[in-house]
Structure 1
């Protein structure tokens, strides 16, 4: 069953920026892989390791909102929590599914549209150094990733429980 985007918004620190937000490229977790080819293997296999690649997302906005600029290029260690909310039409039954993606990372400059009289201009920025990401569909947690303490929940199961227990981390 397809979920078809009907509309979305973006909240930063509780402020709604949906009216200015044109496009969002949300992060997806990708495992770090390493190519392996044993002595008798002709076909190499990219094996997933116990790590996820760094997450990043990009946002394209209309306008030059000063509240966005004030959150860019903060000193190392400072992060901003951004919540993206989408309304998805469930094609099967015509209902609306709520998709929510929460990221905590650093807003950093990307590009600025050229200033041109009478033309719409905006900015595109990236959110990198993401230390936390959560994706829910109708309150069902699909992905929850956290840098520290390490957490990788996929479909309700923390994939790092065994590793964390072996290292003496609880929770």
Structure 2
């Protein structure tokens, strides 16, 4: 709907499945979804006056989150302790500023917990830890029950707004859909 403003009001993150004991709602301070950025290659044709650039792919996805306090269970998920990727599911409450309606946003990310960066401890201040999700191989972004972005490394599927961006490539290369 145009003519409105959507504002994120609250988030939660589950590390693992949607098991209620995996909820980080009490400690989550930040959730940063990955940037969607193209990779561009410069091209200056021999007979052209002006150079241009062509999109040749998409940058790797690098989501992060920050938790307040210390989370000993999450340390066991760190990349050196586990070679298995985990599913991270983030939920957000987005408020339609025109109607007041609360809308669910959801991000599903399959990745490894690749970095844990603790804040410096300082007496009288809350110490937190910033976490990086690395080796991302699956990403979904949903808004109000509708898929907005879907990408899977293994099936080479890339959908934006429900439209398959890789169908021609996958058909020509005989890459089967895993979904």
TM above 0.5 = yes
Q: 2-side partners of 1:161 and 1:89: how far apart?
A: 34
For residues 35-93 of structure 1, give each alpha carbon's deviation from its aligned partner in whole angstroms, at most 9, with x where no partner exists.
Answer: 122234333222112x3211111111101111211111246751010011110111222
Q: Give structure 2 stretches of 5+ with no counterpart.
A: none
Q: Across the two proteins, how many residue pairs are aligned to each other?
A: 170
Q: Give structure 1 stretches of 5+ with no counterpart.
A: none
* CA distance 1:149–1:134, shift in 2 (3 Å): same
SS of residue in 2 equivalent to 1:68: helix
TM-score scaled by structure 1?
0.91
Q: 1-side partners of 2:138 and 2:93: how far apart?
A: 22
For residues 133-160 of structure 1, give each alpha carbon's deviation from its aligned partner in whole angstroms, at most 9, with x where no partner exists.
Answer: 0001011111001111111011101111
Give the one of 98, 105, 118 matched to 1:99: 105
TM-score scaled by structure 2?
0.88
**What's the Cα RMSD here?**
1.6
Q: 2-side partners of 1:75 and 1:64: how far apart?
A: 17
Q: Which structure shows the higher strand fraction? A: 1
2:35 equivalent in structure 1: 28
2:142 equivalent in structure 1: 136
Please say which of residues 24-33 and 148-157 is displaced more in the overlay.
Answer: 24-33
1:45 equivalent in structure 2: 52
Give the one of 51, 60, 84 matched to 1:78: 84
